[in-house]
Structure 1
Amino acid sequence: MSIRELYQRYTNQLSTIYSSHEAGELSLWLMEHFLGIRRIDLLQNKKIGEIPLGMKQALEALMRQEPIQYILGKAPFYGREFRVSPAVLIPRNETEELVHLIIKENTIPNPSILDIGTGSGCIPISLALEIPEARVAALDISEEALEVAKENAKDLRANIDFYQTDILKDAIPVDNLDIIVSNPPYVKYSEKELMQPNVLEHEPHLALFVYDEDPLIFYREIAIKAKISLKTGGKLYLEINEGLGKETANLLATIGYQQVQIHQDLNGKDRMISATSNRNE
C-alpha cells in the first residue's frame, strides 16, 4: 500500500463522522505519530509496510469520537508538547492567546505567578519557560490532574510549585503575587447541547461546566481571594465565557479591581479579561 492510499482510506472512513478537512488532519496526525509520515511525504507517495495494531486501534477510537489528544496521550500548546489524559482538559488555542497576552504585557523582573485550576499545567509551565526567572505556582482540586501537570513540568524541566486546593472553599496557598491567571469552568449546563460529542462525552465536566443559576461563581471566588494574594498593582488574567464578558468585567469592577479590560481572541470573540488589583485587602 502507498502512503496516499492509506491516507485516502483513513480519510474516507473518518469523513463519515468528521468534516472532510478534519478527517484529513486526523489521518495525517495518526500517520505521523505511528509511521513518522509527514504531510510532505504524501507527495513522494512511497510504499509502506504493515500498519501497526496501535494505529488501527487509534482509528477505531476516533470512530467512537474519542479526542485524538487522549488517544495519543499528548497535545501541542504554545510550541511544546504536553501529556494529557481524560483527567484534564485538552489545551485550546484560546488559552494559548491568554498565555501570550500575559507574556506580552509582563514587564516585571522575576515575577511571581499563580495559575488556578491548572489541569495539564500548560499555562504555568509555558509561563515559567517563557518568562525569565519567573517564580510560578499552580493549584487544582483534582489529584489526578495534578499528577499529569507534575509529569509535564518534569518532562519540560519547568520549576513549578503545585498545590491541591479547592478554590471555592480554600484560601489561596501563596501570596505576594504579581500575576494570578485562571481558565476556570465557565460553560453553562444549558450550553451543553452546543458542544461537540468528543468534548461532551470525554473531557472532564468538573473542569468545564457551571450551573446556570450562578455561572460566575468561580470568577467571584477567584477575584475575591486574589485581592488578598496579589500585590498592590498585581494583575489578574482570566479566560472567560464569550457570552458573559460584560458581566464578568462588571463583577471585577464591583469587587474593586481597576483597569478592567476585555480582550478578544483571534476570532473576534470576548475571550479574556485582565484587571489590576489596587490593594491587598
Structure 2
Amino acid sequence: MSATATRDLLREALAETTQRLGRAGVASPSVDARALIAAAAGTARPLVLLDDLPADFAEQLEGLTARRERREPLQLILGRAPFRRLMLHVREGVFIPRPETELALDLLRQHSTGPLEHLVDLCTGSGALAASALDEIPTARVLAVEIDPAAADLAAENLEAAGPGRGRVLCADLTSDPRDAVLAELEAAAPVDAIVSNPPYIPPLAVPRDAEVLDHDPHRALFGGGADGLEVPRAVISWAARLLRPGGVLIMEHADVQGPAARDAASRIGGFDRLNTAPDLTGRDRFLVARRAGTRPLEVRD
C-alpha cells in the first residue's frame, strides 16, 4: 500500500470510528478514536507520520472499536493509563487511576515538613500514588497496602517499574485486627514521613451512574463501607495516627461532600494537630490534609 493510500485509509478510519464512538455516547470520541487507531496500527507515532499499516489493521480496529462502543474503558482496552509522569499498567478488575487523584502528590509536597524518605500508600489499587512518589521523589522508599491480591500484584509491577527496589506491597485489610501478621508488618514501618491514600469512600446508596465505572471498577474499590461510606477512610486515618512521625502528614482523597465528616473522624480518632480540607483543580473539596501532632493542641480548619 502506498503512503497516499495509507493516509486515505487512516482518514476514513478516523471519521468512521469517531462517528461510531459518538453514537455510543463516548465523551471524547475523536481522542479515543485516534488512540484506538494507533493501537490497531501498533504504533506510538503520530498517525500523520504513518506510511504503512499492518495487514490485520482493519480487523484489529474493528475489535477495539466494538469494545469501546460497549463502554469498556479506554484504559482497559489499551492496557495502560497515564498518571502524572507515568504510564501505568492497568487490568480488568483493578481500579483505574483518575486524573483528579494526581493532585495528592502536589499536596504532599506542599504540606510536608522535613524529609520525605519513608512513605506509605494505603489502599494503593494499581499503585498509582506510590509509583508516582517513587518516580518524583528519588530519596523515597514506599510501602503500599492493598486488600485485593490481583490489585496488589499489579501495584507491585508498577512500583518496580517506577522505582526499582524502592517499593514494596503488602496485601492486607486495613479494617481487620491490627494483630494480623501482615498488619503487624505495616505497624513495624513506623514512624513514616507521610501517608497518601485514595480509599474507597462512596456510600452504599450513591451508586455511580457511569457504566464505565459501575461495570468495570471493582465495587470493593468504590464503596467505603458503613452508612456514610467512611468505614475504610476511618481505618486509613487510624493507621495514619499510628504510623506517622510527629509533623508527618496524611493526604487522603474523599468525596466532595465528605470534607466535614472526614475532619470530624480525624478529630475523634485524635493524634493530629492540624486538619483541613483541600480542593481539587475544579474547586471541589476532595482531600483531607492531617498533620500528626507533636505537642501542639488540635487545630481544625475549614
Which residue, out of 166, 174, 181, partners 1:167?
174
How far is the alpha carbon of 1:254 from its aligned partner? 2.4
Aligned counterpart, 1:59: 65
Residue 190 of structure 1: SS of its match in structure 2? coil
Which residue, out of 121, 130, 145, partners 2:127?
121
Aligned counterpart, 2:84: 78
TM-score (norm 2): 0.84
Matching residue's letter, 1:9: E
Q: Distance in 2 between matches of 1:164 and 1:91?
A: 19
Q: Distance in 2 between matches of 1:49 and 1:226?
A: 52
Aligned counterpart, 2:261: 247
Structure 2 residue 158 is the aligned partner of structure 1 residue 144: no
Q: Distance in 2 between matches of 1:37 and 1:165?
A: 37
How far is the alpha carbon of 1:53 from its aligned partner? 3.1
What is the number of residues matched between the two proteins?
A: 276
Q: Distance in 2 between matches of 1:108 and 1:34?
A: 48
TM-score (norm 1): 0.90
Preserved CA contact (<8 Å) 2:134 2:162: no
Structure 2 CA distance for partners of 1:157 and 1:108, relative to 1, 3 Å? same
Preserved CA contact (<8 Å) 1:7 1:27: yes
Q: Distance in 1 between matches of 2:47 and 2:109?
A: 33
Q: Distance in 1 between matches of 2:58 and 2:19?
A: 19
Structure 2 CA distance for partners of 1:133 and 1:140, relative to 1, 3 Å? same
Residue 242 of structure 1: SS of its match in structure 2? coil
Structure 2 CA distance for partners of 1:45 and 1:124, relative to 1, 3 Å? closer
How far is the alpha carbon of 1:279 from its aligned partner? 5.2
Q: Distance in 1 between matches of 2:157 and 2:44?
A: 27
Aligned counterpart, 1:196: 210
Q: Distance in 2 between matches of 1:113 and 1:103?
A: 12
How far is the alpha carbon of 1:212 from its aligned partner? 5.6
Alignment deviations for residues 86-141 of structure 1 (CA, whole Å, 9 cap, x no partner): 23211111111112221344443352100011111111111012113112110111
Q: Distance in 1 between matches of 2:83 and 2:142?
A: 18
Aligned counterpart, 1:3: 10
Aligned counterpart, 1:177: 192
The percentage of aligned residue pairs carrying the same residue is 29
Matching residue's letter, 1:3: L
Structure 2 residue 141 is the aligned partner of structure 1 residue 135: yes
Aligned counterpart, 1:102: 108
Which residue, out of 20, 26, 46, partners 2:32?
26
Alignment deviations for residues 164-210 of structure 1 (CA, whole Å, 9 cap, x no partner): 11001043412111111111101123221x43101101111110113
Q: Distance in 1 between matches of 2:108 and 2:47?
A: 35
How far is the alpha carbon of 1:163 from its aligned partner? 0.7
Unmatched tracts of structure 1, length 5 or more: none
Kindly name which structure, 1 or 2, has the bigger radius of gyration based on alpha carbons: 2
Q: Distance in 2 between matches of 1:105 and 1:98?
A: 11
Structure 2 CA distance for partners of 1:37 and 1:160, relative to 1, 3 Å? closer
Q: Distance in 2 between matches of 1:267 and 1:39?
A: 31
Which residue, out of 255, 268, 280, partners 2:283?
268
How far is the alpha carbon of 1:261 from its aligned partner? 1.2
Q: Distance in 2 between matches of 1:45 and 1:149?
A: 34
Q: Distance in 1 between matches of 2:160 and 2:138?
A: 18
